[in-house]
Amino acid sequence: MNAPARPSAPSTTARRAPQAIHEGFLAHRRYRWAWIAALLAGSSVLLYALDDPWPRPNGGTALGYALGTLSAGLIVWLSLLGIRKRRFTDGPWSLKAWVSAHVWLGLALAIIATLHAGFQFGWNVHTLAWALMMGVILSGVWGVVLYQRLPRQLSDNRATASERAMAAALAESDRALEAAARPLGDREAALVRDALATPAVGRSLGSRLAGRVPRCGTAAALRALPEGDPELAPLRDLLAARSVLLARIRTNARLKTWLQVWLLVHVPLTVALLAALLAHIVSVFFYW
């Protein structure tokens, strides 16, 4: 008598768990840090509303010192992201969790520190620290928008080609253009020389941010060469292919430059904030 057939093992496809939907750093762990930040900010607002000092709430009250201590601690902790992002780890304090906390607690800081100041501002180091803090927070919001959009645009623009591969393709295109222009007349050869002499990306910050090069030789050559001439058709095809490649290279440079400009704004503002925060704390306890 034959033994009953053993049930077949489920296929690899059946055993495979459904792929989890990609979760961005803002929504990390179902917006855990958004809820924590909202709790901190909401509690601060409630305590500020219930506090009854005379003549009005300010940074010199018990609540003011408490909110100030919390604000200073948050500023120092938030500034450590630049060091933390150099290490990639998993778990509750993964880099994604740290960035999520950085963003949401940074937004809460705007409320907590303003309540610490008691809405009292003037031409002094205390208001300078608050203004720099708001500048850092606003530039941080700008950074969140950039990092939500630009990396994906960078990936889509490269279309699986690395920067090195695009540079190699451009060099190969240049060699092909030089070879195609040799048997042609002086006018066509001059157009090719102008195209090859034009830099792949703009030299000025404005042109890099715009993703354009003024007086692009490749575009000028395409406009100057007549269509329908069978002798010039191979040259036009090479110039058209080069134009498409240059567009990808310039778009890549534009997106990277926007990220670099953001860092040039956000990082120095953070350093200035830490210096102003130290001056604020020293002056408070010196005149206490």
Residue 58 belongs to some domain of the structure: yes
For residue 243, give the amino acid letter: S
pLDDT value, residue 122: 87
Pairwise CA distance, residues 193 & 217, whole Å: 8
For residue 82, give the amino acid letter: G
Pairwise CA distance, residues 108 & 87, whole Å: 25
Do 260 and 150 share a domain, yes or no? yes
Pairwise CA distance, residues 287 & 3, whole Å: 92
Pairwise CA distance, residues 145 & 174, whole Å: 37
Percent of the chain at pLDDT > 90 equals 51
The residues, any chain, with a CB within 8 Å of residue 21's CB and separated by 6 or more, are none
Residue 39 belongs to some domain of the structure: yes
Query: Is the pLDDT at 52 greater than 80, yes or no?
Result: no
pLDDT value, residue 82: 65
**Tally of domains in the chain:** 2
Query: Is the pLDDT at 21 greater than 90, yes or no?
Result: no
57: nearest Cα among 283, 49, 285: 49
More confident residue, 96 or 139: 139
Last residue of a domain, one of 56, 86, 120: 120
Do 288 and 154 share a domain, yes or no? yes
Q: How confident is the model at residue 60 (pLDDT cuts 50, 70, 90)?
A: confident
Percent of the chain at pLDDT > 70 equals 85
More confident residue, 1 or 226: 226
Pairwise CA distance, residues 117 & 48, whole Å: 11
Burial of 131-161, coded b for 16+ CB within 10 Å and e otherwise, reads: ebbbbbbebbeebbebbeebeeebeebbeee
Do 52 and 82 share a domain, yes or no? yes
Residue 153 belongs to some domain of the structure: yes
Do 91 and 142 share a domain, yes or no? no
Q: What is the DSSP string of 35-97?
A: HHHHHHHHHHHHHHHH---SSS--TTSHHHHHHHHHHHHHHHHHHTHHHHTTS---STT-HHH
Residue 183 belongs to some domain of the structure: yes
Mean pLDDT calculated for residue range 239-256: 93
Do 142 and 283 share a domain, yes or no? yes
Burial grade of 12 (CB within 10 A; 0-12, 13-18, 19 or more): exposed
Residue 4 belongs to some domain of the structure: no
Range of the domain at 54: 28-120
Residue 22 belongs to some domain of the structure: no
Do 234 and 147 share a domain, yes or no? yes
Residue 288 belongs to some domain of the structure: yes
Q: What is the greatest pairwise CA distance in the chain?
A: 98
Pairwise CA distance, residues 183 & 179, whole Å: 8
More confident residue, 91 or 58: 58
Residue 9 belongs to some domain of the structure: no
Do 61 and 91 share a domain, yes or no? yes
Write phi, then psi, for 209 (nearest 5 degrees): -65, -30
Query: Is the pLDDT at 269 greater than 80, yes or no?
Result: yes
Q: Please report how the helices 186-197 and 163-181 are oriented relative to each other, as an axis angle in degrees rounded to 10.
A: 160
The residues, any chain, with a CB within 8 Å of residue 61's CB and separated by 6 or more, are 51, 53
Do 169 and 252 share a domain, yes or no? yes
Do 109 and 162 share a domain, yes or no? no
Do 100 and 149 share a domain, yes or no? no
Q: How confident is the model at residue 9 (pLDDT cuts 50, 70, 90)?
A: very low
Do 176 and 260 share a domain, yes or no? yes
Last residue of a domain, one of 92, 120, 148: 120
> Considering the entire predicted model, what is its pTM?
0.77
Do 218 and 157 share a domain, yes or no? yes
Last residue of a domain, one of 68, 90, 120: 120
